[in-house]
Amino acid sequence: MNPNLSALQAYPFEKLRALFDGIASPTQAHIPLSIGEPKHASPDFVARAIKDNIDKLSNYPTTKGIPELREAIARWATQRFNLNKLDPETEILPVNGTREALFAFAQTVVAAGPEAVVCSPNPFYQIYEGAALLAGAQPEFLACRAENGFIPDFAGVNPDVWQRCQLLFICTPGNPSGAVMNSAQLKELIALADQYDFVIASDECYSELYFDEANPPAGLLQACAELGRDNYQRCVVFHSLSKRSNLPGLRSGFVAGDADILKEFLLYRTYHGCAMPVQHQLASVAAWNDEAHVKANRDLYRRKFAEVLEILDGCLDVSRPDASFYLWAKTPISDTEFAKGLFAQQHVTVLPGSYLSRKVEGYNPGANYVRMALVADAQQCADAAHRIKAYVQSLNERAAC
C-alpha cells in the first residue's frame, strides 16, 4: 500500500459524525448548515441540454473536451476577468469539478522528495492536504488570522519555506471565511512565485457568489493580465459550475492558465481517465453562456445573508463575508462543544473550525470558530438563525448562574 495513505486525516464530516455519536436527536426538524452543497434550484435549461443530447452516451468523451466547451469557457473567463486573451486550445482544460482537478494537479506539478513542500491556507479545503501528501510533498500550513483579514501573511513566511515550495494553493473567495484576495495581493504572490519558482493554484470556485454587483472578486489570471503577463506563467485557476450555477451533481469545471503546465496536466489526465461525458459538456456550454441565472442566484444569497445576520446581530461575533455562501462565526465556547450543544439542543448542524484546520506550533487558527453554509432555502436559514440565537442565549444564561 502507498505509505502516504496513513498520513491522511479523517474528513471533517467523519469527525462531525463521531462528535454527534450517541446524541439523541431533538424532535424539531434537522437543519444542516455544515456541508457547502448548494440547494437552490438548478437551471432548467441545463437539464434540457442533457436530455437533448442523451444520445451522446454512445460516444467516448475526449480528455481535452469538445471545442465548443473550451470556447464558451474562454469567452466567459475573458469577459469576467478582463483578460487580454485566453487560448481555448492550449490554456483551458475542462474537468470533473474542482475537487478532482485540485487533487490531480498536485500529482502533476510536484516532484516528490523529502524537501518538497506544498503550501496552503489554514483553515483550508482538505483536498489541498491530501493532494500534497499523496504527491510526496510536505504540507506547509499558512495561518489565516482575523487580524490579517483571514488571509495568510505571505510576507511573513520563512524564505526557507518558499525555497522548498513547489506549489501554493490559494482559495479566493476563501473557504471557510469568504475572504477575498485583492489584485494587489495576487500580484505580490506572482512576484514571490517568480522569485522562488513555484506554481500558484488558485481555487476560485466561489468567485461568482458575491454581494456587490459592481465589484466582483478579482482572479489570479486577472492579476496576470493587469501585469501584461498574458502567458500566465506559473499561474493556474480552478473554476466550477457547482456553486455558480447550483450544479454540484454535474461535476463540471475547468482549469485555465499557463499553457506549458496545462500541456503536462493534460498528459496526466489522459492516463488518469477522467474525461467529462459529452452530454455534460454540452450542458456546461449552456451554463457558461448564461449570466441571468447566476445573478438571480446571488440575489437569493444576498437576501438570506441579510436576514440571518439581522437575527444573529448582538448574538454571535459574525459579519458578512467578502463573498461565498459561508458565515465564519466566532464561538463563545470551544467550537466542538458549541457544535455538539447546538445539535443536541436545537438540531442544527454547523462545522467546527478546528476540523477545517491544523494545529501548527500549538496554534489552531480554526479553533473557536464554526462554519455555517447558508445553502438551504431562506425560511430554513432564518429558522436556523433563530435556533442558534436561542442556543447562545441559553449559554449566556448558564454562564450567569
For residue 146 the three cell numbers come to: 482575523
Q: Could you tell me if 170 and 138 are in contact, meaning their C-beta atoms sit under 8 angstroms apart?
A: no
Q: Band the pLDDT of 401: cuts 50, 70, 90.
A: low
Which whole number is the average pLDDT over 78-100?
Answer: 97
Q: What whole-number distance in Å separates Cα of residue 83 and Cα of residue 77?
A: 7
Q: Is 330 helix (H, G, I), strand (E, B) or coil?
A: strand
Indicate the pairing of strand 235-240 with strand 199-203. parallel
Write down all domains in the chain, each with its CATH number in brackets: 3-41+293-392 (3.90.1150.10), 60-289 (3.40.640.10)
Q: Please tell me the predicted confidence (pLDDT) of residue 2.
A: 87
Which whole number is the average pLDDT over 291-319?
Answer: 97
Q: Please tell me the predicted confidence (pLDDT) of residue 147.
A: 95
* pLDDT tens-digit map of 312-336: 999 999 999 999 999 999 999 999 9
Q: Residue 332 burial by CB count (10 A; 0-12/13-18/19+): exposed, middle or buried?
A: middle
Give the whole-number percent of the chain exceeding pLDDT 70: 100
Q: Please tell me the predicted confidence (pLDDT) of residue 121.
A: 98
Tell me the pTM.
0.96
Alpha-carbon dihedral sign for residues 287, 291, 292, 295: positive
Alpha-carbon dihedral sign for residues 45, 51, 56, 60: positive
Q: Band the pLDDT of 397: cuts 50, 70, 90.
A: confident
Indicate the pairing of strand 369-373 with strand 117-122. unpaired
- Closest of 308, 321, 126, 296 to residue 217, by C-alpha: 321
Q: What whole-number distance in Å separates Cα of residue 91 and Cα of residue 256?
A: 5
Q: Please tell me the predicted confidence (pLDDT) of residue 334.
A: 98
CA dist list (Å): 389 to 9, 316, 335: 32, 8, 16
Q: What angle do CA 276, 37, 334 make, to 5 degrees?
A: 135
Q: What whole-number distance in Å separates Cα of residue 335 and Cα of residue 133?
A: 27
Q: Could you tell me if 321 and 179 are in contact, meaning their C-beta atoms sit under 8 angstroms apart?
A: yes
Q: Band the pLDDT of 25: cuts 50, 70, 90.
A: confident
- Closest of 108, 189, 180, 194 to residue 151, by C-alpha: 180
Q: Please tell me the predicted confidence (pLDDT) of residue 267.
A: 97
Peptide bond into 94 cis (omega under 30): no
Q: Please tell me the predicted confidence (pLDDT) of residue 282.
A: 98
* pLDDT tens-digit map of 332-380: 999 999 999 999 999 999 999 999 999 999 999 999 999 999 999 999 9
Q: Residue 379 burial by CB count (10 A; 0-12/13-18/19+): exposed, middle or buried?
A: exposed
β partners of residue 240: 253
pLDDT, mean over the chain: 96
Q: Please tell me the predicted confidence (pLDDT) of residue 320.
A: 97
* pLDDT tens-digit map of 126-149: 999 999 999 999 999 999 999 999
* pLDDT tens-digit map of 224-256: 999 999 999 999 999 999 999 999 999 999 999
Q: Please tell me the predicted confidence (pLDDT) of residue 359.
A: 95
Could you count the other beta carbons within 10 Å of the beta carbon of residue 90? 14
- Closest of 128, 220, 121, 213 to residue 176, by C-alpha: 121
Which whole number is the average pLDDT over 40-67?
Answer: 95
